[in-house]
Structure 1
Amino acid sequence: MRHKQIIKMLIFIAISMIIGAIVFVLLRPYLHKTIPFNNFNKLTQITEEPSQKIIPFPGWNEREKQRALAVVIDNTESARPQSGLELAEVVIEVPVEGGQTRLLAIISGEDQELLGPIRSARSYFVDLASEYEAILVHAGGSMDALETIKKQKIDNLDEIYGGSIVAAAFWRVMERQKPHNLYTSSDSLRRAAINKKYDLTTPPTQRQTLGLDEEIDGGEIVSDIAIFYPNRVSLVRYQYNKEKLVFERYMAEQPHMTAKGEQLKAANIVIQFVSFQYLDGDGRLRLIMHGGGKALIFHEGQAFVGRWQKTPGQFTKYTDEKGKSLSLAEGPTWIQVVPNGTRIEY
């Protein structure tokens, strides 16, 4: 009797071991594997995704360029949203009468199907166009501006006084009222320039830009810049987007949009303080754009206090307070020309 019980027990144990072995084989692929502690760092390095540097405006400096057009663009409320600012290499915003501002867009790259609204020139626009060796595009201008254009033989395309060939490069749209409805295109302007026998091959002078691997530091961290031009509708604000590494532009506390429905963005903001004089009771200004003065330079979320320097016929230089030239980030630059004493917050 005892012998039979022992046999049964051995058979039970043998069957259990066989069943256990079968179960182990079947479940083995699903069992957790042990990770050796001394290989953990090595394993992490293999599986981690390498971080990639964000390039906000890829290929910006490599775009094919020809001689620049310096286009005077309206910036009143009735003129917004404008067309063509989004692909300008440089946009210079300057005060005009009434406490408002006007824009000069330096465009030498891609063809623009629509540019405008086009407005009249001031003498400082003539000087700025010459600085970039550009063809000035405008619709008339102040007396001193027109006199300077004639005296200095400035290459220009004037919708009002440029003759029928030049006037044919402009048109008015029905959706807006005068004087905020005059438009053109870069192709139309360049064809008019060819008829005027202007040189179209000389690209504009370029400021030094940071290399892709260059790091900048030493500036004050900024997230918001406010520029208080006299008229409330001309209040300019930039907010720094840390994810996209760009400054996003606002006008009168609203996103400054393009006609294509995109918010304007910049890689660099330069605030240039200048001396000024009132010319008449209408508030026309003479801005002193030669000599030098204080400048604030913003890029990659940092602010640098510096200086600007310019001699007649030369390119405006921006330096730190010790006179060392400051490089800019690759991408569009907005230069804010403001009279001395203008309120700036950042």
Structure 2
Amino acid sequence: MRGKRWIQKITAAALAAAVAVSLSGTGFAKETVVYAAEEAAQAAVPQVLPQPTPEEAYAAAGFVRSVYTNEWIPAEQAGVRPIAVMMPTDRIAQPSYGISNAKILYEIMEEGEISRQMAIIDDWTGLPKIGNVRSCRAYYLPEATEWDPILVHFGGVVYMKDRITAPDINNITGAQQYGVAGGTPGAEAFFRTTDRKAPHNAYTSAPGIVNACAQLGYPLNIRQGVYNPKHFTFAQGINTLEQYGAAAATANAIDLSQIYTYTKSAFVYNPADGLYYKSIHGKPQTDGLNGEQLKFANVIVQNTKWVRLDDKGYLAFQNIDNTEDGYYFTKGKCIHVTWQKMGDYLPTVYYDDFGNEIQLNEGKTYIAVAQKGRSVLYN
């Protein structure tokens, strides 16, 4: 038995040797060994998979580009209606609360040579204190409706009666919405504090706005068919305005004191972060909630036709127009622009002197709707 097994082993070994000799004569064995070695080496190298681009990564995580700033925001936030809050520029009323959340900040002159601000805030639902809140004027409405907001104000004037009561306007107000007998929709959303005297101590909050909208039947999401999602055109990358050559002037400081003689609103460019820092009454304009100074990637001065309506000094502006000009400031530079707005819910579009729509930089935008004939200074 032992001999038989020994013979089988010898026979198998001999057969294997014979096969190896036979194959080596053809070169097949050598090629097979080399191929196997290459296959093993390839298997040992880790496979490098294509990496998603930042755009793909953000999209996969449920983010979209903001129509206000072009920054990445959660998709659910993009569907929330913004609020348009009327805020004062009065020296005694500073600082405002929640104003640094404004992605678009308008400043327009009112009667008495005192301007007012309208803050377009998209991420408002977590704000505990917003304001103080002041009254509205008719010429803010065409600017506001571009964004389909919930308008938050504390009263108004008779000149806005027809527009503020139109069914497409969703507003809440702590005082009669256009003066005597105007009604006060959403008045319960407001509260007063004791640290300031009226009219500078009226505020609202995110919970107050949500509750008021529920009672008034105002939707909290963007209204399809009403809202126009096309607003600014943003640059892919950074727009330094260098493409305009000598037509782009240096603008490290922007002085609006000839436009807003009371507030003397101004900006200083910070090259470290590429933003313009805003001041008011000669001091940094800050947010009472966080102490942050207001800063913007884009500053626009929009020259606008205007008239005085009566002896009280109430004004009117021609917000819907296609014949006026202005200036665009970004990254320490400035170019001349023209602008057009063709309807309430249509966006204001800004063009360079070659007829191309300007490309804004990512970030917040300040818009001065300036009285035509008043000058902006910069250097």
Range class of TM-score, shorter chain: 0.7 to 0.9
Aligned to 2:215: 195
Whole-angstrom CA distance in 2 between matches of 1:232 and 1:295:
18
CA gap of 1:79–1:229, structure 2 versus 1, over 3 A, is: farther
Q: Which amino acid aligns with 2:214?
A: I
Query: Do structure 1's residue 177 and structure 2's residue 225 form an aligned pair?
Result: no
Q: What are the within-5 Å matches in structure 2 for residues 144-223 of structure 1?
A: 144-151=159-166, 153-161=168-176, 166-202=186-222, 205=229, 206-212=231-237, 216-217=241-242, 218=244, 219-223=248-252
Q: What are the within-5 Å matches in structure 2 for residues 1-346 of structure 1?
A: 60-63=71-74, 64-65=77-78, 66-111=80-125, 112-151=127-166, 153-161=168-176, 166-202=186-222, 205=229, 206-212=231-237, 216-217=241-242, 218=244, 219-229=248-258, 232-259=261-288, 260-292=290-322, 293-313=324-344, 314-346=346-378
Whole-angstrom CA distance in 1 between matches of 2:239 and 2:367:
23
Whole-angstrom CA distance in 2 between matches of 1:170 and 1:128:
23
Q: TM-score, normalised by structure 2?
A: 0.72
CA gap of 1:152–1:295, structure 2 versus 1, over 3 A, is: farther
| SS of residue in 2 equivalent to 1:178 | coil
Whole-angstrom CA distance in 2 between matches of 1:170 and 1:183:
5
CA gap of 1:154–1:296, structure 2 versus 1, over 3 A, is: same
Whole-angstrom CA distance in 2 between matches of 1:130 and 1:322:
28
- Determine if contact 2:81/2:221 at 8 Å carries over to the other structure: yes
- Determine if contact 2:277/2:295 at 8 Å carries over to the other structure: yes
CA gap of 1:321–1:213, structure 2 versus 1, over 3 A, is: closer
Cα deviation code 1:243-287 (max 9, x no counterpart): 121100011221112213221111110000001100112211111
**1:306 shift after superposition:** 0.6
Cα deviation code 1:279-299 (max 9, x no counterpart): 112211111111131110111
- Determine if contact 2:255/2:267 at 8 Å carries over to the other structure: yes
- Determine if contact 1:247/1:267 at 8 Å carries over to the other structure: yes
Whole-angstrom CA distance in 2 between matches of 1:137 and 1:320:
33
| SS of residue in 1 equivalent to 2:161 | helix
- Determine if contact 2:296/2:365 at 8 Å carries over to the other structure: yes
- Determine if contact 1:99/1:230 at 8 Å carries over to the other structure: no
Cα deviation code 1:94-121 (max 9, x no counterpart): 0001111101111112432211111111
Task: Give the aligned length.
Answer: 290
Q: TM-score, normalised by structure 1?
A: 0.78
| SS of residue in 1 equivalent to 2:143 | helix
Q: Which amino acid aligns with 1:185?
A: S
- Determine if contact 1:289/1:310 at 8 Å carries over to the other structure: yes
Q: Which amino acid aligns with 1:90?
A: I
Cα deviation code 1:209-243 (max 9, x no counterpart): 22236654222221100012566431111000011
- Determine if contact 1:61/1:330 at 8 Å carries over to the other structure: no
CA gap of 1:336–1:140, structure 2 versus 1, over 3 A, is: same
- Determine if contact 1:95/1:229 at 8 Å carries over to the other structure: no
Whole-angstrom CA distance in 2 between matches of 1:182 and 1:193:
18
Cα deviation code 1:147-198 (max 9, x no counterpart): 3211454111121247787112110110000001100113321221122111
> For structure 2, which runs of at least 5 residues remain unmatched after alignment?
1-68, 178-182
Percent identical pairs in the alignment equals 27
